[in-house]
Amino acid sequence: MNEIADRYRDQGVGAVFLYTHEAHPGEIYPRLTSMAQKFSNARDLRDKLGVTRSILVDALDGACHRAYGSMPNMTWIFNKSGVPVYKSDWTDAASVENALQYFLDVKRRRRSGARLAPFHVERLDYRTQDREGFYAGLDRNGPKAVSEFRAAFG
Amino acid sequence: MPDADLLNAYNYDSFVPEKFMPWMRFDESPPLGERTPDFPLWRLDGGETSLAQTLRGHAYTVVEFGSFT
C-alpha cells in the first residue's frame, strides 16, 4: 500500500492510514485504554512496521471506524467531495490499484468531454493468503494474540 | 465523554468471537456515491484535523483502516 501511495501521488491521489483499535490484542500490545497509548502504537506502526503514509488517529471510541463498518483492515477510496467511490472489507493492494486506475481513467474521460453517469457494481476480488506471515505478525503482539486467533479460526 | 461500556467493548481485550464479531459491520456501512459523515481525527503530532479536511486535498484519497495488531 505504501508503494501504491508513492506511485499515484503525482496523479492527485492521497493516501492515509487511519489508526483504529487493536484487533488482536496481546501481552505486548494489549487493548487500548488511552489516547496516549493509541498515539504510541500508531508511531510504532510507522517506526516498526514501516508505514510511510500519513497516519491519522481515530478517537478512542472509534467513532469514525465504527461509522464505516469497523472491519479490522478495510480500505475505502473517497473523492474530493468526501463521497466514497470504493469500499473493500479487506485491504488488498492489487484491488486498490485496480480501482484507482479505473477512477483516474474516469477523470481522463471526463476531461476529454465524455458525459458519464455513475452506477453501482459489486465484484468479488481475491487476495493472496499468507498464513505464515499473518501468524508472524500476530506473534509481534504477544503469544495471547496467536493462541486466540488459532482458537477462533484454526 | 465517551461511554465507558462502549470504550471497553470497542477496545476489546481478547480476540474471541463474542467480542470481535459485533464489530464486523461492513454490511451496515455507508453506501457508495453518497456523502458520508465527517469525524475529527488526529495527526501523530497531536494536531486535530478531520476526515473531510483530509479528503479535500486530492482528487481521490485511499483510506486504509487498521492498527499495529
* Span A8-59, pLDDT tens digits: 999 999 999 999 999 999 999 999 999 999 999 999 999 999 999 999 999 9
* CB spacing of A118 vs B33 below 8 angstroms: yes
Q: Which residue of A has its CA nearest to B10?
A: A61
Of A23, A56, A141, which is closest to B42 when you measure between CB atoms? A56
The structural domains of chain A, with segments of one domain joined by +, span 2-153
Owner of C-alpha cell 500519513: A54
> B47 — phi, psi (to 5°)?
-65, 140
* CB spacing of B11 vs A33 below 8 angstroms: yes
Q: Which residues from B are below 8 Å from A107, CB to CB?
A: 59
* Span A63-90, pLDDT tens digits: 999 999 999 999 999 999 999 999 999 9
What's the pLDDT band for B29 if we cut at 50, 70, 90? Answer: very high
Partner A contacted by B18 (CB < 8 A): no
B28 has pLDDT over 70: yes
In this predicted structure, what is the pLDDT of residue A154?
A: 75
In this predicted structure, what is the pLDDT of residue A23?
A: 97
* CB spacing of B65 vs A73 below 8 angstroms: yes
In this predicted structure, what is the pLDDT of residue A27?
A: 97
Q: Which residues from A are below 8 Å from B64, CB to CB?
A: 1, 15-18, 53, 73-75, 91
* Span A82-140, pLDDT tens digits: 999 999 999 999 999 999 999 999 999 999 999 999 999 999 999 999 999 999 999 99
Question: Rounded to an integer, what distance in angstroms lies between the CA atom of residue A121 and that of residue A55?
Answer: 30
Partner A contacted by B50 (CB < 8 A): no
Average pLDDT of every residue of chain B: 95
Which contacts of B48-55 are long-range, i.e. CB under 8 A and separated by 24 or more positions? B49/A56, B51/A64, B51/A82, B52/A82, B54/A14, B54/A16, B54/A56, B55/A14, B55/A78, B55/A79, B55/A80, B55/A81, B55/A82
Predicted TM-score (pTM) of this structure: 0.96
In this predicted structure, what is the pLDDT of residue A20?
A: 98
How close does chain A come to B64, measured CA to CA in Å? 4
Partner A contacted by B45 (CB < 8 A): no
Query: Cβ distance A60 to B11 under 8 Å?
Result: yes
* Span A59-69, pLDDT tens digits: 999 999 999 99
Question: Rounded to an integer, what distance in angstroms lies between the CA atom of residue A21 and that of residue A31?
Answer: 8
Partner A contacted by B1 (CB < 8 A): no
How close does chain B come to A81, measured CA to CA in Å? 6
> A128 — phi, psi (to 5°)?
-75, 135
Task: Indicate the DSSP class of residue B26.
Answer: G
* CB spacing of B54 vs A16 below 8 angstroms: yes
* CB spacing of B69 vs A59 below 8 angstroms: no
The structural domains of chain B, with segments of one domain joined by +, span 3-57
Which ipTM value was assigned to this complex?
A: 0.96
What's the pLDDT band for B2 if we cut at 50, 70, 90? Answer: low
> Which numeric CATH code is attached to A2-153?
3.40.30
B1 has pLDDT over 70: no
